[in-house]
Structure 1
């Protein structure tokens, strides 16, 4: 058995995709998404990437409704459905056949009440389950009340269905995650925001040529600022969904051509000065990298007192508005500030 621990990005995507899907039982759909994420991690760790495909990968990455619901994965040519449940009785052969009678293989994933960990219990051929149910009916009658049969073959036997290969542990080498501030490995490169981290096997084409290496899609804050909402109030896990919905242009790079931004702040960012005992929320109004104190900000309470509906202001206009309205601004080194997320 294997334990999968979803991180914050996984949990947010699993939930938001369930919301966008319009599922009648969002909790069921959410945990189902987490089960798929768990099995995807297993496949990436133990099966060659060319032998399996996650049908819903893009839908969950971008939190879009799933366009195909026949099965979740194709592994070694088999149609695989991932069944996730807190109730282990759902893994009885007859119970599985009630919900998944048409797939080739069912993978069983159990989850804790608070969804902080999922256990991949095992898998089984659907045809084998049908035989077991028929045998139970024909020869054994009713099962004992205190002892129910659960169907599960060990997870590591799954790779025996495919060719003998030593290609294991093909997990991404990409160090970035959505929301990270990055820049190209060039002088004077602009700060960008990581929106999507594409799976390493994705066939990405740049300038007419296939990319050799893992890809990262980014958006630039100035472009995001032109969108209909305050993207800084959106969880990073949902940025791909937001950009896809609003047709915000993304730029794709090899992850080796990017580095973390040494100075990550841009106009409109929410920040605090962490060495204050009870810091007010600051908003960056100007960035001048030629100055030692390269970040100019105002504090949210001062802006609220001076301007009606400050949330409607465009970040590019903040410096001018502060000047016109007499709103006090203060200069700091970027090293003295940290992000204060508003999602």
Structure 2
């Protein structure tokens, strides 16, 4: 058995995708999504990437509705469905067969009430489950009253279904995650971008007609995101991909090795505080110097959904608002509270 602990990004995406799916039971769909994410982590660490495929990976990463599919994964050519439940009786052979008898394999995932931990308890072939149900129905003696049969095989036995391969840990080497501010490496005049998507290591991506050899990162630039209908800085980083896809905001793909964390991560429209102040007031970045690391800010300035960031300098001048200049090292991002959009 394996324990999976979802992080906040997993939780946000699992919930938002359930909402976008327009599921009849949002809670059930959310925990089902978390179960799929848990199994993906198992596959990534224990199975060769060319031998498995997660059908719903893009839908959950981008919080988009899923295309209909009768199963969640394909592993070694088998159709695999992930069943997630808090009720352990849901993993009895008859219950599993009643709910799903069309796939080849069922993976069983149990979760805690508050969804902070999931346990991959095992898997079983559907044919074996059907056989167990038939055998139990034909059993002529008295069934035990205090001992219920749960059909599971150890998770690691999945490896035996495929060819002999060495243990493969395919966890990403990519250091970035959505929301990070990055710039192109070895470029002294690089623009600051925002990481929107981190693609799985096995994803094949073409750049300029050539297959990218490495892990891909998709980046959006703040100037394009500012043209959207809302204030993207309010949006949780886990949902930036969903927002950009919904609003048709251009994304640019880079090999992760060609990016670096931005030395000066701030751009016009960002909400910041001055770290040396005891009780700092939030400010809005109005201008970013092209020649040095100086930032111009305005206190109690308008939000991005009130005045477009590109218009902030003119707005401050027209309204007679006082502005202040600081080095970027004197500032940090303000916590303005993020909402699911």
TM normalised by structure 2 equals 0.95
Report how far residue 278 of structure 1 moved.
2.4
Q: Is the 8 A contact 1:297 1:329 kept in 2?
A: yes
Partner of 1:205: 206
Q: Is the 8 A contact 1:46 1:159 kept in 2?
A: yes
Report how far residue 197 of structure 1 moved.
0.5
Q: Is the 8 A contact 1:55 1:68 kept in 2?
A: no
Distance 1:277 1:50 in 2: 54
Partner of 2:155: 155
Partner of 1:25: 25
Partner of 1:332: 326
Matched residue SS, 2:83? strand
Report how far residue 310 of structure 1 moved.
7.2
Distance 1:30 1:271 in 2: 33
- Single out whichever of 240-249 and 71-80 deviates more from structure 2: 240-249
Distance 1:310 1:5 in 2: 35
Partner of 2:144: 144
Aligned residues: 336
Report how far residue 113 of structure 1 moved.
1.1
Q: Is the 8 A contact 1:179 1:194 kept in 2?
A: yes
Matched residue SS, 2:305? helix
Distance 2:193 2:160 in 1: 44
Structure 1 position 312 matched with structure 2 position 306: yes
Partner of 2:215: 214
Matched residue SS, 1:218? strand
Distance 2:196 2:151 in 1: 40
Residue-by-residue CA offset, 1:39-70 (whole Å, 9 max, x unaligned): 00000000000000000011111100000231
Report how far residue 311 of structure 1 moved.
3.3
Distance 1:140 1:283 in 2: 76
Report how far residue 141 of structure 1 moved.
5.6
Partner of 1:190: 191
Superposed CA RMSD in Å reads: 1.4
Q: Is the 8 A contact 2:176 2:198 kept in 1?
A: yes
Matched residue SS, 2:11? helix
Distance 1:143 1:33 in 2: 35
Q: Is the 8 A contact 1:136 1:142 kept in 2?
A: no
Residue-by-residue CA offset, 1:155-212 (whole Å, 9 max, x unaligned): 0011000000015101111110000000001111000000000111111000011111
Distance 1:44 1:291 in 2: 43
Distance 1:223 1:279 in 2: 29
Distance 2:181 2:143 in 1: 58
Structure 1 position 62 matched with structure 2 position 56: no
Residue-by-residue CA offset, 1:13-59 (whole Å, 9 max, x unaligned): 10100000001111100000000000000000000000000000111
Q: Is the 8 A contact 2:4 2:118 kept in 1?
A: yes
Report how far residue 81 of structure 1 moved.
0.3
Report how far residue 312 of structure 1 moved.
2.1
Residue-by-residue CA offset, 1:79-128 (whole Å, 9 max, x unaligned): 00000011111111111111111110000001111111111000000110
List alignment gaps of at least 5 residues for structure 1: none
Q: Is the 8 A contact 1:76 1:162 kept in 2?
A: yes
Report how far residue 146 of structure 1 moved.
2.4
Q: 1:49 to 1:141 in 2, by over 3 A?
A: farther
Residue-by-residue CA offset, 1:132-168 (whole Å, 9 max, x unaligned): 1111111156643322111110000110000000151
Q: 1:112 to 1:275 in 2, by over 3 A?
A: farther
